[in-house]
Amino acid sequence: MFRKKIGLAAQVISASSKFQKGVAYIPRVNRSTLLIKQLPSSRYLGKPAPELVSDILDQIFELLTQPSDDDILYSLQAYPNLFNCMLVNKKWSQSAVKILYRHPWRLHRLYTLRTTDLAYDRCKLVRLYLTMLDRDQRRVLLEQGINLPAPEHTQMFKYATYLRCLDYGVMLESVWTIYSQSHYTDVPCETVKLVIRALLKLFSVQAGSLTWLRFAPMSFSSDEMYCEMLEDNEFNALLRPVEHLVLEANLGGCKKLFKIFAANFRNVRNLELTDLPRSRKWIGDSSIKYHTDFTTVIESQHHLQSLTLKECSGYLSAIIAAIQSQSHTICHLKFIDCDFLGCEPWIGLAKCRKLVSIEFIGCINISGSMVAPLIDAGLTRLKKVVVLYRIDQKSCKELLNLASLYPSI
């Protein structure tokens, strides 16, 4: 017994000798003696993991859309990704639906050639919105003999509240398809107008305002259907905030429509004009060059930053002169499949001191005299000049030399 006490005292003395000033002593522990119940417990042990906050989910799902630099439209892969996210749980579904139905009309254009995804076609989308009409709107339409889908009393989401981007041409074509047997039959225009008006009123009340709007005419539609919405002051709050405007200009009554566009949309940041009407005798006619109606859409803007022209010819002198009115704000210009035959030197472009990028894709008939003012301007903020020709197109040496000054792009 005495020897046992001496042994214990020796161990204590040897252990105490290891303590030094400023040095912590950690005794050895036999791991085999540790039990699982001795491990520190977590409050999430045996419970489901904590859920992500809705705001974080929204930001993650925004990354799935992968929009391009100059377009707010979603990529092709974004829609199936978001549809899959809707199937996880209720919170994920709420965040995914909010983004999907921000631009629902994009589905028709993405899935036109994919028969497996026709369940999300444009007509079903219109019918979904028609189920959300209030009692008074439904009564007015039913009194006119218009058949409406039955309202859903247990609807999970208010889809109309998420709308921020509207393709007016696709919506008009969808309504026309629903209430007509064929595009070539004479459908009562009043029926289409009443339904379109009801949908726009629904969007005005629930969505509030739009940020993206596209006008593209149908081969069987009339300009009267486009003017119906724009001339009504009831929808001003819905349209005035639009910042991204796309106009496909092969419209019959261009003069009236473009004047309405200029009066209604003044806060556009990104403007795209496609297929401007061609004049038969535009060469050498100054009245056509400088007094066109659609240039008022450019000149009426307060802070236009980006302009894209597609398949334009004959009016480029007038357009470039109109761009000069936006010289204090314009930063990005893009010309796609444009014909510059007979165009005057680009003095209007040379005066845009805030230009950051200019792109010429598939353009023809560009001469050195046109490019000369742009070369001599010495634009200090210009960082990107892209020139792409097709194989059968003749290139402009002066324009290629300008693009060679920016080899890093």
Which pLDDT does position 282 carry in this prediction? 38
* Domain membership flag for residue 81: yes
223 belongs to a structural domain: no
Per-residue pLDDT of 336-358, as tens digits, reads 999 898 888 999 999 999 999 99
Please indicate, yes or no, if residue 213 is contained in any of the structural domains: no
Note down pLDDT in tens along the chain; length 409 residues. 545 444 544 444 444 444 444 444 445 545 455 444 454 555 555 556 556 677 787 777 777 776 655 455 666 667 777 788 888 888 888 888 888 888 887 654 544 444 444 434 678 888 889 999 988 999 999 998 888 888 877 677 888 999 998 988 888 888 887 887 544 445 557 888 889 999 999 999 998 889 999 887 665 555 566 776 777 788 888 888 999 999 886 654 556 777 788 888 899 999 998 876 554 333 444 334 435 677 888 999 999 999 999 988 777 888 898 999 999 999 999 999 998 988 889 999 999 999 999 999 999 999 999 999 998 888 889 999 999 998 888 889 999 998 888 765 4
Q: What is the dihedral of CA 397, 399, 402, 407, to 10 degrees?
A: -80
Distance CA 73, CA 64 (A): 12
For 401, residues 6+ apart whose C-beta sits below 8 A from its C-beta are 375
Classify 358 as helix, strand or coil: strand
Assigned domain for 70 exists: yes
266-284 pLDDT, tens digit each: 999 999 988 765 543 334 4
Please give the residue range of the domain that contains residue 59. Answer: 53-100
Whether 109 contacts 170, CB under 8 Å:
yes
pTM of the shown model: 0.77
Residue 72 within any structural domain of the chain: yes
Residue 96 lies in a domain: yes
* Total domains, the chain: 1
The Cα–Cα gap between 197 and 178 comes to 15
| Backbone region of residue 311 per phi and psi (left: phi > 0; alpha: psi in -120 to 50; beta: other values) | left
The SS3 call for residue 109 is: helix
**8: in domain:** no
* pLDDT of res. 294: 73
In this predicted structure, what is the pLDDT of residue 70? 47
Query: Residue 113 is encoded by which pair of tokens?
Result: 């050639």
